[in-house]
Structure formats: C-alpha cells, structure tokens
Structure 1
Amino acid sequence: MNPSYAQPSPGPKAASSPDRDAQIYARIVDAIVAHKLTPGARLPEETLATTFGVSRTIIRTVLQRLSLERMVVLQRNRGAQVARPGVDEARQVFAARRMIETACMPDVMRRAGKEQVKALRKLTRHERQAQQRHRHSDAIRLSAAFHVELVGIAGNPVITEFAAQLASRSSLIIAVYGSHLSVGCDCGEHGELVDLIDAGREQEATDWVVQHLLHIEASLHFEQPEEATPDFAAIFGD
C-alpha cells in the first residue's frame, strides 16, 4: 500500500495504464487511511483529474474500484464520497469477527505447527516495523493480514474467505474512525497471541482475541464532522 510513486505526467489527457491506475488508487487509499481524506469527503472527478494530471476516465475507473471495495460511495447526482460506515455497521462487523475468530481457535490450536507459527511471527514483525516507522496504512493492512492468516490455519477456506471480507471492511472502519492506537500495542501486540498459540494455551488465546477486538472497537471515534471538498493539491502534491 505504500509503493514508490512516479511523478504524474502533465495534462488531463494522460493515457491510462495499469501502473498509473494502481498508483492513483494507492495514493487515495493512503490518504483515507492517514485521515487526510475524512469520511464523507467529496471526490470530484474533474478536480482529481487535474490534481493527478490524468483524464476523468482514469479517475472514474479508480473510483469505481474503490466503490467495489466499499471505501468510496458513488451517488447519483452527488458523485463520489469517502465511505462513512455507520456505527451499527461497524459494531456488527466487529461482532462477526469475534464470533468467527473465536470459533476457529480450537482448530487453529490443533493445526498450528512450526511453519504456521513462523508465518504469524513474520507478519507480526512486519506490522511492528510499520508501526515504528509511522506507516499507519501499512500497519492496518498487515493487522488485517495477520487475522486472515490466523483464521486460515483452521483449514476451512469458506470461513477464511468470509474472514477476509470482514477484515477488509474493518480495515476501512479503522482507517476512517481509528488512530495509530487502533493497530498499536494499546489494543494488544499480536506477538502475545502467537506466544499463547505456540504454548498451546487455547483458552487464554481465545480470550486474548476477544479482548483484542473489543479494544480495537473501543478505540474508534465515530463522532466526526462531515467535510466538504478537500484541498487535493495540498494532500497529493509532492
């Protein structure tokens, strides 16, 4: 989520390419995660096209992708806005995550061998590095990846796919309503859970997951003012 971005070529008629689309997509995602674009902020195609030096067609493609991932809402006659997940939706997503992840823990404990524990530790290490380097968007992405990897150990692909969808939705919720504390040690270091799994302490590991997700939910701040069109030149300018 934090690649090296090329300078946009001048002119609104720049040709589309997968690389260019991906660069613009990544920059908008990072701006949402970093709270530079807040929930409800308008995303006018023409202004974004001018800012990035590309055509409105390219911007429309990027916004459609963000809409499919539920990070942006496309409304007729109002254009695009940064998604604003409701409080009830957010709580339902985290309740579903607690249900799924705790239900998987017996199978996780039974199937977690050295390789699985090693993979979890690797993700934890990368997440910690992202936090230390203040790469908030990377930390959110890696936190979600850790939880999907955890559920995947249970060996049920259907549940893993569902867990991945929930993790993606909660990543948006954390991105727009949370802070660095929402994926930091205040909500529990994932390494603690890996240690419990490695030691075979199933009940403690299950309890840890519940408390961890509750702490993340409690760290969210839903009362935020709706924002008008942001200053894109200031946000995306180099």
Structure 2
Amino acid sequence: MLKTVGEKQTGKPRKTREGDNTSEDIYEQIYVALLEHRLLPGTKLAEERLASIFGVNRARVRDALSRLAYEQIVEVYPKKGWFVAKPSVDQARDVFEARRVIEPAVIRRLTRAATPDKLAQLRNHLRLEMDARERSDKRAVIRLSGEFHNLVATLSGNSAFTRSMRELTTLTCLVILLYDAPISASCRADEHAAVVDAISDGEGERAVELMLHHLDHIESSLNLDVVEEEVDLEEIFRRRD
C-alpha cells in the first residue's frame, strides 16, 4: 500500500523485526522508485541482484515483481527476465483515455462525499507539494504529484477507483519519463489547487472540467523521443543515512 501522504522517504530498505524485507516492502520500494523516476522504463530488474540488495531470497523478490506485473507496471519475458514497463505511444494514449473516464467519476463521488476532514487532507497535500517545489525537491514533487490523484481516489471512498488510479498514475509516471515531459509543466500544483477549490465549493462539474483540462495539459506535454539510459540498481536502492 501507499505510504501515508507526506511520509518521509528515507531510501533505506524497510526491515521487519526479523531483519528481512517482506515482499510488500520490496514492492513498495520499487513502486516509490518508479513514482520518483529513479527507475527508468525498460530497466531490467534482475532477481538475483534485487535479492542481494534487499537481503532476501529470490522467491520473495519474485512475489513483489509478480504483483507489479499484475498491475502492468513490470513486464516479464521468458528467458530474459523482469523489466520496468515501457509503454508504447498507443498504450500511453490508452492510459489517458482510461483516466478521462475514471477521474470524472472519482471527482463527482468525492464532491458528494466531501467532509471538512477530507478537504483538510487535500489542503495538507497541496501544502506538501508547494513545499517540495519551493525546496526544488524534484523527486518529492514527482511523487506527491502522482499521490495527489491517488489521494483523491482514496477519499472518494470507492476501493475499485483507488486500485485503478494507483495503477494508472504509476503508468503515467512511466509515460512522462519515457516521453520526456517536463515535470514543471506536466503536473502543476496550481491545477491541483483549482480542483480542490471546486470540490470544496461543491461544484462537482466544475471540478471535473478542471481535472480533464489538467489531464489534457499532462498529455500535451509529451513527446515521442525515447532516450535509452542505463541505471545502477545498487545505487537506486543503496541505504542512505
């Protein structure tokens, strides 16, 4: 599951009391690395290397990767192994088409179910986004931008929406990275704030219109130039003090 919005990411493999990372821990850290653009589309996720990095057996790594594959975030190829998904242009368009169907329903449901506590959670998240931007913390900006959409879905109270949005926002992060969309343009905090203002005012259709404009803005920032780049798994998951 997602960490609580705003929870500090230490970069250290989380440990159980026995000293081992669970498959959930491994899944979560790979998920966050994807959300923060530390893992590139097409990166090979070698079981043996990840098992060594996380101090577990390969079966536990395989469990985490299988879950990510089920969510279409990771792909597996016979005799080749596991790779971070590399969405095609058509798949990227499919992601946005799906978001344009699901997110209006999420927004309408949340507007009907809005409470002072839910609105406070949204406002707090917006403050975290602005703080990350002011600190020029690019990784936090990327993660929090994606988590905003997940939070909206969670607060709507529909678990199916929540699951779908988690998958779609992660795939969107891969698309943004793969097609080189500038983060500052692709997911702007002021657009998030406008959606929250409309929800707070009870203007569901206005909030839907703003969200659809936001999605159009993200998609229009994409280009089709793919740049291949090697990454170091040990560096990505290295313990940080």
Instruction: State the TM-score, normalizing by the size of structure 1.
Output: 0.73
Which residue pairs with 2:54 in the alignment?
52
Q: 1:94 aligns with which of 93, 96, 100?
A: 96
- On the 8 A contact 2:75/2:85 being kept in 1, the answer is yes
1:162-207 Cα distance to aligned partner (Å, 9 max, x none): x32442232222322325333333xx43222222233344553332
What amino acid sits opposite 2:57 in the alignment? S
SS of aligned partner of 2:76: strand
Which residue pairs with 2:150 in the alignment?
145
Which residue pairs with 2:179 in the alignment?
none
Which residue pairs with 1:171 in the alignment?
169
**How many residue pairs were aligned?**
221
Change (3 A) 1:137 1:59: farther
Q: 1:184 aligns with which of 182, 185, 188?
A: 188
User: Post-superposition shift, 1:88?
Assistant: 1.9
User: Post-superposition shift, 1:80?
Assistant: 0.2
SS of aligned partner of 1:189: helix
Deviating 4+ runs (over 6 angstroms): none
Which residue pairs with 1:207 in the alignment?
209
SS of aligned partner of 2:217: helix
Q: Could you tell me the percent identity over the aligned residues?
A: 31
Distance in 2 between residues matched to 1:222 and 1:215, nearest whole Å: 16
Change (3 A) 1:141 1:171: same
- On the 8 A contact 1:105/1:206 being kept in 2, the answer is yes
Distance in 1 between residues matched to 2:110 and 2:35, nearest whole Å: 30
What amino acid sits opposite 1:173 in the alignment? L
1:82-116 Cα distance to aligned partner (Å, 9 max, x none): 01122222222222322333356566545545444
Which residue pairs with 2:236 in the alignment?
235
Which residue pairs with 1:67 in the alignment?
69
User: Post-superposition shift, 1:148?
Assistant: 0.6
Provide structure 1 residue ranges, at least 5 long, that are not aligned to the other structure. Answer: 9-14
Distance in 2 between residues matched to 1:52 and 1:217, nearest whole Å: 35
Which residue pairs with 1:218 in the alignment?
220
SS of aligned partner of 1:70: coil
Which residue pairs with 1:12 in the alignment?
none
Provide structure 2 residue ranges, at least 5 long, that are not aligned to the other structure. Answer: 4-8, 177-181
2:124 is aligned with 1:122:
yes
What amino acid sits opposite 1:184 in the alignment? R
Change (3 A) 1:195 1:7: closer
CA RMSD of aligned residues (A): 3.2
Change (3 A) 1:23 1:221: farther
What amino acid sits opposite 1:180 in the alignment? I
Distance in 1 between residues matched to 2:203 and 2:141, nearest whole Å: 31
Distance in 2 between residues matched to 1:26 and 1:131, nearest whole Å: 24
Change (3 A) 1:113 1:65: closer
